Chain A
Amino acid sequence: MQSTETSFENIKKDFPILTRTVRDNKRLVYLDNASTTQKPNQVIDAITDYYRNHNANIHRAVYALAEESTEAYETARDKIAKFVNIKNRQELIFVRGTTEAINLVAYAWGRSHIDEGDIIVTTEYEHHSNIVPWQLLTQEKRAKLEYIGMNDNGELNLDDLDKYLATGKVKLVTFSLMSNVLGTITDSEKIIAKCKAAGVPTLIDGAQAVPHMKVDLDTLGCDFFAFSGHKMLAPTGIGVLWVRKSVLQTMNPFHGGGDMIREVHKYETTWNDLPYKFEAGTPNIADVIGFGAAIDYLTKIGMDNVRQHEIELTKYAMEEFGKVPGLTIYGTKDLTKRGGVISFNFADVHPHDVAQLIDEQGIALRSGHHCAQVLMERLDVAATSRASFYIYNTKADVDALIDSLKSVAKVFKL
């Protein structure tokens, strides 16, 4: 890549939606990337091309179209495996997204591995998708759900983890690699080392991390890893669950049906090979192929460049936010420990009112509890505003956001 700033300026051209205007001809400034990202032409075209030219079901028929669609689907699996350094493609299961991935683990692993009195440990800054499945499981099994607490800087207190591990009852530790509210990058190395020493498996919610930084599953050393396509340029409704093969072999199927079987008789069935045992029914073929195109796009840019771009943007945004009186930023200021997610509150104005007022300027900013009510309680706020960046965002977008806050200040007489 040449000078990163120039090339990132050009990226916008690949995203047709970013050329449209909203609310009386205002340029769209899209800052809700932690929720979902926009899609480049390359991804949209890959999906369209599949439906226009190759559509057929996979893994069964022998005709030309079926061969092409199977080939495209499995090639996407290989691309994604390579992207996060999964060595064995049998360990990569396609799911609808991170939420389904975690529910799959809670159901297909949890039900046969968690018993009464066992403990599952999560953290205070999890998305609801990494809390609620474990509440359901622990309630069903009369097990316990415990939390690793967080300091005021948005970093985990790993002493809590030590305390729970010492009970000898912990059967799973589950955490997000990057908080979707605070942007905190979790010290996964330390957590996994502690869990390994205690013989406890770990699950990582990678939904916020994989789109924004280089993630290497081979060196990470966890046992389960989940992420979603739509937060990294791919379509909605497609995601990945990776499970270490030795663990995957101890798991029962999640859904029963077509494609996950080897032989079905009246009263018993044998399972298909991995990963198909966990991919029942006709999968989301087109969107897997779209996911593959998104991976190609990100690979071309390079994840180190993506991370660098977001660090620069976050640094700039933090400096500019710092100049706005009455603005509180949550989480650490250390840019090496956080991603491009900035949660804030503006004086006493409710985040929903902030978001609605600046929407008039064409700015898409998220407000609310961000599916992290446990964290909102810990921060003692009802909600926050959240700006989250991606590859197509620029300093001009940050400037537009800062400028729009003036209209909020005016209405609320700040």
Chain B
Amino acid sequence: MSSGADIYHEMIVDYSRNPLNYGEIENHDVTFHDSNPLCGDSIDIDMKIDDNKVADIKFHGKGCAICMACTSVLTEITKGKSLDDVRKIEKNDILGELGLEHLQAVRIKCALLSLKVLKSALYTYLGSHLENSEGIDTLKTEAENLY
């Protein structure tokens, strides 16, 4: 289990100071907000969707170093991806990128808040563009099995 100082390597500290894709998208197609009551991390993700692809993604909010770094990485991974591929992003895609696979349980929520917000934004978007109710049930099942 990685704990304490081990997790605070250069990349985490740098991203926490200078997060990637930080800001707002004025004419976004979807936005979502959520927070993590443990340390008060609070994240908004805006996305611009063109042709079923994430044309642009930005986030803003406050958070601990782990949260900011993970959100930076997640937004980088997401940018340019098709919505189907965004649906397939898993927690280890982010944790692996930052060497946080064995993050202790209390901090995992900091690391995965942005994934939760991203998926919620995606489902919000997909839900509002659905043509049949069958799709809604599929989305609901997916949302319930997020983690």
Contact = CB atoms under 8 A, between A and B. Distances in A.
Give the interface residue-count category, chain A. Answer: 20 to 34
Contact of B65 (A350, A369, A382, A413): A350
A356 B16 contact: no
Given A352-B64, A352-B110, A412-B13, A360 B40 contact: no
Contacts of A353: 8, 16, 64-66
B38 A350 contact: no
B96 interface: no
A360 B107 CA distance: 15
A413 to B, nearest CB: 7
Interface residues of B, number: 22
Interface in A350-390: 350-353, 356-357, 359-360, 367-369, 373, 376, 382-383
Interface in B58-106: 62-67
Interface in A129-161: none
Contact of B40 (A349, A359, A383): A383
B39 A368 contact: yes
A263 interface: no
A356 B13 contact: no
Given A368-B40, A382-B42, A360 B4 contact: yes
A407 B63 contact: no
A367 to B, nearest CB: 6
A23 B1 CA distance: 12
Q: Which of B8, B17, B41, B63 has the largest number of chain A CB atoms within 10 A?
A: B8
Interface of A: 23, 348-353, 356-357, 359-360, 367-369, 373, 376, 382-383, 407, 411-413
13 contacts: A348-B17, A350-B67, A352-B66, A353-B64, A356-B7, A357-B4, A357-B5, A359-B3, A360-B5, A369-B37, A376-B40, A382-B42, A412-B13
